[in-house]
Chains A and B, each alone.
Chain A
């Protein structure tokens, strides 16, 4: 079953923070985050495993709440380059099949 991403879209000013959520009705083994710019392929951001720690690099980090089956992606002090659509992919039982959310469109304005 497709995970639910929220919000569907968000508009920010450069320097503002954003949180994107990904919720599943099923118990998850891992959550994968990707960013896709218009007309391009998705690009990997990070993977969070069940029982693993919060991850992050630069000003983008994420957490995985196993009790709620929810992952959140945090973008702090957003930059123009952060614009794009963010997708979460969820994996159940390490079965190599990712089920993807519908995406969150992020627009950063100067």
Chain B
């Protein structure tokens, strides 16, 4: 099993550009989530999903969109990148919400 796979590992964007961070899991997990991690801070929840077709906002959803068309995939879209979105992004999944989270290896995003 590959677990949770995130791509790309690194990305540099210019202000105003859009892009999609990919996340896929092969563990048949119902719950998937996106976090951002900034220096000196813990993880902050952006969006989460409790199953295909169901998504909800987390703590810091502004500027991000998600969709969940399949159980396996949960992409995160940045609509118009801003320097404030420079961060490390983690995707995580679990069998259901509130259970042990399995994290992807992260994406380091810089917005210039």
A→B interface (CB under 8 Å): 2, 29-30, 32, 34, 40-44, 47, 87, 89, 91, 94-103
Contacts and interface: CB of A to CB of B under 8 A. Distances in A.
Interface of B: 31, 40-45, 48, 50, 58-59, 90, 97-106
Contacts of A42: 43, 90, 101, 103
A100 B104 contact: no
Main secondary structure of the interface of B (DSSP, over half): loop
Contacts, number: 52
Contact of B41 (A47, A97, A102): A102
A99 to B, nearest CB: 7
A79 to B, nearest CB: 22
Contact of B103 (A29, A30, A41): A41
Given A47-B100, A101-B42, A102-B40, 10 more contacts: A41-B90, A41-B104, A42-B90, A42-B101, A44-B101, A44-B102, A91-B98, A97-B59, A98-B45, A100-B42
